[in-house]
Amino acid sequence: MLWAVLTITAAAAQTARNAAQRGLVASVGTLGATHARFLYGLPFALLFLAGLGLAGVQLEWPQGAAVGWAALGGVAQIGATALLIAAMRSSAFMLAVAYTKLEPVLVMAIAALAVGEVPTTGQGVAIVAATAGVLLMAWPAAATLSASRAAAVTPTGAGPAGETAIAEAWWRPLAYGLGSGALFALSAVAFRAAVLTFETPGFVAAAITTLALALAIQTVLFSAWLAATAPATLRALIARPRAALPAGFMGALASAFWFMAFALASAPLVRTLALVEILMSGIVGRRLFAETPSPRQIAGATLLVAGIAGLFLG
């Protein structure tokens, strides 16, 4: 059950990281806030690694397979984030984000195809149920969907141009959401594969080494891309270390727990249990902000709880 404890801890740390990143958006923009988790997370990952070495933990230099899987995971994660940002800029971004909630099912499919990890029948049913529950909770209301559709209509509201705009209002969020979810799923499977390539006894060292390797690759790639396309954003981020360090630390901490969980359990199980973060957010909203859930959200939460429980019974 240690993997479950690590997963829930990672989800909590990720929530804190998201809050820290949101605080950066006003000063460095969305791309800058996104890069903070890489640029300012890498020093902390290296400190974690150094701490293990000083504590006498046996470390192993990553070999070709680990580098390849970590690079694949890192690039996929960057691509998933880019698509998510594109979704947020879309008039139908709520619909696009809802599609990203299919990630656990996509993780299950990619894990089976890429590394041959197939969950039991009970676990598969639980993953599908939990995913359906969170998709039900996240799906935009009918009024929002109607507004997105209306926003796509041309002033004349008719003709080929109008029909094309309406079609784009549906396929664009589908492409953004499924693309982002699929790439996040691929990154989870790749990071687990990277952790499992290490022969060093003890999963902590393998997880932290993979974390440092992945963040190094992501920092180099994202920094180079920002330097070429948005140098002002990169300069603004570098000039604000005090504001960005909390996001970097919480990002590195969350990823450390994610990778340790990946070392102990398959990616589909870890990413499905991670959906508990959404349930926790709903509880907080209910208690602190007196938000009343809709019948659909209650049904979705029930499915989510049933699916999470099924992970341990299947």
pLDDT digits (tens, 9 = 90+) for 284-301: 555 544 556 678 778 888
Give the residue from 192, 184, 162, 199 showing the smallest Cα distance to 77: 184
Please report the pLDDT score of residue 147 as a whole number.
56
pLDDT by residue (tens digit) across 196-231? 999 877 899 999 999 999 999 999 999 999 999 999
Please report the pLDDT score of residue 288 as a whole number.
46
Strand runs labelled E in the chain: none
**pLDDT averaged over the chain?**
85
Per-residue pLDDT, averaged over 234-259, amounts to 95
Model confidence at 1: pLDDT above 90: no
Residue 141, helix vs strand vs coil: coil
pTM: 0.85
CA 289, CA 44: separation in Å to the nearest integer?
Answer: 34
Q: Provide the 10 A C-beta neighbour count for residue 76.
A: 21
Model confidence at 83: pLDDT above 90: no
Contact of 203 with 263, CB cutoff 8 Å = yes
CA 130, CA 102: separation in Å to the nearest integer?
Answer: 10
Per-residue pLDDT, averaged over 46-68, amounts to 93
| Residue 75 banded pLDDT, cuts 50, 70, 90 | very high
Q: What is the 8-class DSSP label of residue 239?
A: T
Q: Is 157 exposed, middle or buried (0-12, 13-18, 19+ CB in 10 A)?
A: exposed
Please report the pLDDT score of residue 294 as a whole number.
76
CA 68, CA 89: separation in Å to the nearest integer?
Answer: 32
In the numeric block, which tokens belong to residue 192? 């687990």
∠ at Cα 25 (24, 30), nearest 5°?
Answer: 125
At position 278, the amino acid (one-letter code) is I
Contact of 248 with 39, CB cutoff 8 Å = yes
pLDDT by residue (tens digit) across 117-152? 999 999 999 999 999 988 888 776 655 555 555 555
Greatest alpha-carbon span in the chain: 72
CA 248, CA 11: separation in Å to the nearest integer?
Answer: 15
Higher-pLDDT residue of 196 and 18 is 196
Q: What are phi and psi of 105, to 5 degrees?
A: -65, -40
Q: Provide the 10 A C-beta neighbour count for residue 296.
A: 12
